[in-house]
């Protein structure tokens, strides 16, 4: 995990990007891992934990209609969360996670382990969301979400970085 965070820090610093997180099912765990790295204040701005729907609406300006129509665990909510947290904190990069870590709260349509992760790299107009189905106990699911969210961001930053670099050479 620390290797991923170190790589992420390097890329963010190189790009002069700062990042933020909007966390629901992980309850701040992503931010906790990011700030384990000394010097993280150079690239990590803040985290907002929006566990309740009311907090998502109040702090991130997630639409009440989105929550009513699609639920808290949805692509639409994850997108609105990440866009809201990036805008609120005036940073370039954001991650949002919303899901069901269990052991309760799941349904046939959205079983325990269902998680939506969204990534936003604002200067590149990049917004990506992905649905995951993790397995295990509550803490195992939450840890899998953290790793997946950070690996996903690192991949996007590196891939987009490579494309932008190649485009500038042509």
In DSSP terms, 99 is beta-bridged to 115
Cα separation, 119 vs 110, in Å, equals: 21
Cα separation, 145 vs 117, in Å, equals: 8
Domain 1-168: what homologous superfamily?
A: CinA-like (3.90.950.20)
Q: What is the pLDDT of residues 116-134, one digit of tens each?
A: 999 999 999 999 999 999 9
Give the closest residue to 59 by CA, choosing from 77, 84, 90, 92.
Answer: 84
169 pLDDT exceeds 60? no
Q: What is the pTM of this model?
A: 0.94
Q: What is the pLDDT of residues 8-41, one digit of tens each?
A: 999 999 999 999 999 999 999 999 999 999 999 9
Q: What is the pLDDT of residues 61-108, one digit of tens each?
A: 999 999 999 999 999 999 999 999 999 999 999 999 999 999 999 999
157 pLDDT exceeds 80? yes
Phi, psi of 118 (to 5 degrees): -125, 145
Give the closest residue to 19 by CA, choosing from 43, 36, 35, 1.
Answer: 43
């Amino acid at each position: 995990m620390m290797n991923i965070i170190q790589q992420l820090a390097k890329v963010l610093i190189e790009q002069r990007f700062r990042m933020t997180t909007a966390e629901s099912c992980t309850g701040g765990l992503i931010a906790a891992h990011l700030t384990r790295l000394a010097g993280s204040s150079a690239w990590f701005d803040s985290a907002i934990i929006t566990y309740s729907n009311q907090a998502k609406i109040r702090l991130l300006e997630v639409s009440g209609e989105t929550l009513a129509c699609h639920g808290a665990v949805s692509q639409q909510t994850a997108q609105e969360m990440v866009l809201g947290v990036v805008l609120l904190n005036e940073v370039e990069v954001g991650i949002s996670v919303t899901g069901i870590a269990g052991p309760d709260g799941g349904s046939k349509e959205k079983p325990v382990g269902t998680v939506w992760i969204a990534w936003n790299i604002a200067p590149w107009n990049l917004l990506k969301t992905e649905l995951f189905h993790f397995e295990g106990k509550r803490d195992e699911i939450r840890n899998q979400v953290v790793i997946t969210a950070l690996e996903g961001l690192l991949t996007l930053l590196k891939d987009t970085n490579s494309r932008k670099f190649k485009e500038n050479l042509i």
